[in-house]
């Protein structure tokens, strides 16, 4: 865990403690209490607010001593040696390199004196001020109904990058003025952090137009062809006025998180089904973490074959085999794990199993077989993939070219040049790189130009019957020709029929993976098939 994060902290109702981990992942809580919550509910040492008991995983940013902290809060239950349990929140913290200047410039926190009730940049309430004022508002207006809205300026960082911090400050002040101008008596508005604003308004005064009219007026605040000022809002209809303000903000934030990245959607309203979805995700995440520890994840192998059915290798695919024997397919957990950092744990676990299997095959009649493993974009972000694979091949004493690495173009979405350099390094050092799902995305050709890959893996989408058979045949043929010209091997996945196989062979493809030959199977079944059929299917 440490190594991935700069700091891991455990916060409960009374204390805030820093944690360290042993190399094998066991937690060592700090001997002494890191700090006790003060009257403002803030940890005197490390700036953390008292953890609100959240049912869900929440991401937030905090500023302290000129640094920006990105905090991922996971609700967990601590089990003590005597069996007693404490509910608390584990905060996984990354300290940003961007330094921010408290109180004197830098709109990240300009004027946000951590304990002041007012934000001196915009004149709105600060985080503390908003929380305090909102609490008063609920106490003093028992009969009214309220809506809490969190606003976020999309890609605000770009304003700073493109036009400089003073311009960013100016935009924040204008947004603050605009939001304030929409308020009626008794309603409040605050800047919680950086570019995040909150308003609390009477339910009767709220309809979607409140947000949309603010959004319409926004572009006028910044004239630029490079950047289009765009704001998104998460809305929570307050149902329990006695609940902590932080969990109300949480809910508005949860709604907001469902439209992050959408350019045409301005507003998301929190409802219980969003909560249910988040709770389900959280359940899967918790369960998966436990299942990985308990060894419930297994590596299945799907053979890759030549046209005559001879097996040349296999793809490693994860399956979750529950204690009742139920086999859970990846589509039920991969996406969820990819949204959390747990995918790294699963992937590295499967890579290890693949390396171990290759080591077992080394001096047998399977010594020529390779195993392809899947790499997710998050893996590149959290670990040194190169070091990890180097360690694996050394540790298991296997040939690098036998461990093929399947990547998709989504790895290039973040920090493309860095990822490209890393993939090319892996290739240059002798690992086989496969471009997976080729044809599923939109920019595959530009990726091919820059990346040193060995194999192109054509996606099953290409095999689907289309209205224009001739055209799809031509495209498929061109892709196969192109890989030939780029000196890349080609494999087609999703081959389900003899007809598809014959067409592909005619077009020049000679390696296949698909249900026509075999479905993914447990390693023991793979061994049996290999033995019974002399390495063929």
User: In terms of CB distance, is 15 or 347 closer to ligand C2E?
Assistant: 347
Q: How far is the CB of 376 from ligand C2E (least distance, A)?
A: 4
Minimum CB separation of residue 319 from Ca ion in Å reads 14
Helix 416-428, helix 385-396: angle, nearest 10: 20
**What does each C-alpha distance from 70 to 42, 95, 102, 291, 322 come to in angstroms?**
17, 6, 17, 28, 34
Cβ of residue 243: shortest distance to ligand C2E, in angstroms?
Answer: 38
DSSP 247-287: HHHHHHHHHHHTTTT-SS--EEE--HHHHHHHHHHHHHHHH
Per rule CB under 6 A, is residue 38 in the interface with ligand C2E?
A: no
Q: Give the x-and-dash track for 516-535 against ligand C2E (CB under 6 A).
A: ----x---------------
Exactly one of 160, 282, 374, 455 binds Ca ion (CB under 5 A); which one? 374
From the list Ca ion, ligand C2E, none, pick the one residue 215 interacts with, judged by a Cβ distance below 5 to 8 Å according to partner type. none
| Residue (35 or 444) nearer to Ca ion, CB | 444
Measured CA to CA, the distance from residue 508 to residue 484 in angstroms comes to 9
Q: Please name which of 48, 45, 16, 14 lies closest in space to residue 29, comparing C-alpha atoms.
A: 16
Closest approach of Cβ 103 to ligand C2E, in Å? Answer: 44
Placement of tokens 């308003």 in the chain: 199
- Answer yes or no whether residue 436 interacts with Ca ion by CB under 5 A: yes
- Smallest separation, CB 491 to ligand C2E (Å): 11
Q: First-to-last CA distance in the chain?
A: 43
Q: Which partner, ligand C2E, Ca ion, none, binds residue 350 by CB below 5 to 8 Å per kind?
A: ligand C2E
CA–CA distance, 374 with 111 (Å, rounded to integer): 47
Stretch that binds ligand C2E, among 22-30, 208-216, 248-256, 508-516 (CB under 6 A): 508-516
Nearest to 420 by CA among 389, 380, 392: 380
Closest distance between ligand C2E and the C-beta of residue 340, in Å?
13
Helical ranges in 325-409 per DSSP H: 334-339, 342-361, 377-382, 385-396
Residue with smaller CB distance to ligand C2E, 196 or 374 = 374
Largest CA-CA distance found in the chain, in angstroms, rounded = 82
**Residue whose token pair is 């699963």:** 346
| Residue 316 Cβ vs Ca ion, minimum distance, rounded to whole Å | 9
Are the beta carbons of 139 and 234 closer than 8 angstroms? no
Indicate whether 317 belongs to the interface with ligand C2E (CB under 6 A): yes
Q: Pattern of binders to ligand C2E over 269-308, x per CB under 6 A?
A: ---------------------------------x------
* Dist. CA 204–CA 257, nearest whole Å: 25
Instruction: Please state, in angstroms and rounded to a whole number, the distance separating the CA atoms of residues 373 and 354.
Output: 8
Q: Could you tell which of Ca ion, ligand C2E, none binds residue 496, using a CB distance below 5 to 8 A set by kind? A: ligand C2E
- Contact yes or no for 234/253 (Cβ under 8 A): yes
Closest alpha carbon to 289 in 351, 337, 322, 353: 337
Beta strands in 358-478 (DSSP E): 370-374, 403-407, 432-438, 455-458
- Residue 516 Cβ, how far from ligand C2E at the closest point, in Å? 6
Residues in contact with ligand C2E, counted by CB under 6 A, come to a total of: 24
Mark residues 324-343: x for contact with ligand C2E by CB under 6 A, - for none.
-----xxx--x--------x
- Sites for ligand C2E among residues 220-259 (CB under 6 A): none
Does 377 contact ligand C2E by CB under 6 A?
no
CA–CA–CA angle 120, 124, 127 (5° rounding)? 90
15: which strand partners?
36
In terms of CB distance, is 62 or 347 closer to ligand C2E? 347
Q: Chain-centre distance of CA 353, in angstroms?
A: 24
Buried b (16+ CB within 10 A) or exposed e, 338-351: bebbbbbbbbbbbb
376 counts as binding ligand C2E under rule CB under 6 A: yes
Q: Which is nearer to ligand C2E, 92 or 354 (CB)?
A: 354
Angle of the 165-181 helix axis to the 156-163 helix axis, nearest 10: 140
CB of 393 to ligand C2E, least distance (A): 18
514 lines the binding site for ligand C2E (CB under 6 A): yes
Of the residues 119, 236, 437, 490, which one makes contact with ligand C2E according to CB under 6 A:
437
| Binding status of residue 318 toward ligand C2E by CB under 6 A | yes
Tell me the window of 20-28, 95-103, 270-278, 345-353 that interacts with ligand C2E (CB under 6 A).
345-353
Residues 396-425 that bind ligand C2E (CB under 6 A): none
Window of 44-52, 260-268, 510-518, 521-529 that interacts with ligand C2E by CB under 6 A: 510-518
Q: Identify the H or E element spanning 411.
A: none
Per rule CB under 6 A, is residue 62 in the interface with ligand C2E?
no
Contact assessment for residue 1 and residue 92, using Cβ atoms and an 8 Å cutoff: yes
A 10 A CB-CB count for 126 gives 25
Interface with Ca ion in residues 376-415 (CB under 5 A) = 406
87 or 335, CB closer to ligand C2E?
335
494 binds ligand C2E (CB under 6 A): yes
Distance (Å, rounded) from C-alpha 443 to C-alpha 1? Answer: 34
Which residues would be at the binding site for ligand C2E (CB under 6 A)? Answer: 302, 317-318, 329-331, 334, 343, 346-347, 350, 374, 376, 436-437, 460, 493-496, 513-515, 520
Which residues would be at the binding site for Ca ion (CB under 5 A)? Answer: 374, 406, 436-437
């Amino acid at each position: 865990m440490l190594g991935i994060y700069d700091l891991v902290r455990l916060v409960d109702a009374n204390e805030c403690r820093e944690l360290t981990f042993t190399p094998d992942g066991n937690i060592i809580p700090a001997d002494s209490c890191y700090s006790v919550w003060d009257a403002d509910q803030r940890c005197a040492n490390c700036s953390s607010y008292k953890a609100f008991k959240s049912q869900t995983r929440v991401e937030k940013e905090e500023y302290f001593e000129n640094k920006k902290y990105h905090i991922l809060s996971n609700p967990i239950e601590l089990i003590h040696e005597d069996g007693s349990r404490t509910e608390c929140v584990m905060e996984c913290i990354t300290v940003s390199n961007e330094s921010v200047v408290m109180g004197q410039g830098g709109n990240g926190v300009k004027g946000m004196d951590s304990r002041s009730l007012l934000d001196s940049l915009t004149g709105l309430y600060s985080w503390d001020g908003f929380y305090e004022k909102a609490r008063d508002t609920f106490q003093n207006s028992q009969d009214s109904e309220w809506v809490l809205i969190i606003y976020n300026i999309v890609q605000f960082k770009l304003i700073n990058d493109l036009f400089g911090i003073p311009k960013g400050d100016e935009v924040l002040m204008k947004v603050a003025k605009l939001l304030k101008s929409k308020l009626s008596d008794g309603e409040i508005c605050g800047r919680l952090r950086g570019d995040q604003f909150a308003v609390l308004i009477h339910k009767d005064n709220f309809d979607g137009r409140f947000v949309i009219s603010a959004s319409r007026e926004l572009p006028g605040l910044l004239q630029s062809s490079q950047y289009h000022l765009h704001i998104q809002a998460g809305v929570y209809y307050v149902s329990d006025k006695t609940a902590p303000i932080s969990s109300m903000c949480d809910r508005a934030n949860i709604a907001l998180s469902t439209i992050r990245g959408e350019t045409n959607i301005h507003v998301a309203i929190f409802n219980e089904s969003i909560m249910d979805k988040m709770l389900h995700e959280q359940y899967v995440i918790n369960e998966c973490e436990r299942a990985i520890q308990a060894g419930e994840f297994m590596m299945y192998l799907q053979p890759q074959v030549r046209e005559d059915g001879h097996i040349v290798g296999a793809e490693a695919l994860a399956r979750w085999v529950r204690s009742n024997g139920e086999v859970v397919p990846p589509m039920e957990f991969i996406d969820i794990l990819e949204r959390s950092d747990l995918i790294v744990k699963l992937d590295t676990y499967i890579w290890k199993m693949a390396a171990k299997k290759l080591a077992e095959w080394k001096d047998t009649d399977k010594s020529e077989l390779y195993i392809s493993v899947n790499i997710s974009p998050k893996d590149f972000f959290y670990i040194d993939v190169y070091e990890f694979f180097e360690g694996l091949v050394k540790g298991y004493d296997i040939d690098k070219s036998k461990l093929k690495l399947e990547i998709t173009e989504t790895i290039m979405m973040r920090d493309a040049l860095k990822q490209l350099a890393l993939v090319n390094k892996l290739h240059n050092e002798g690992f086989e790189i496969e471009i997976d799902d080729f044809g599923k995305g939109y920019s595959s050709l530009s990726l091919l130009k820059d990346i040193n890959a060995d194999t192109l893996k054509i996606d099953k989408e290409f095999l689907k019957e289309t209205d224009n058979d001739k055209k799809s045949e031509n495209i498929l043929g061109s892709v196969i020709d192109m890989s030939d010209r780029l000196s890349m091997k080609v494999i087609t996945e999703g081959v389900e029929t003899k007809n598809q196989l014959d067409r592909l062979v005619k077009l020049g493809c000679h390696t296949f993976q698909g249900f026509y030959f075999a479905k993914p199977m447990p390693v023991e079944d793979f061994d049996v098939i290999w033995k019974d059929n002399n390495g063929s299917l």
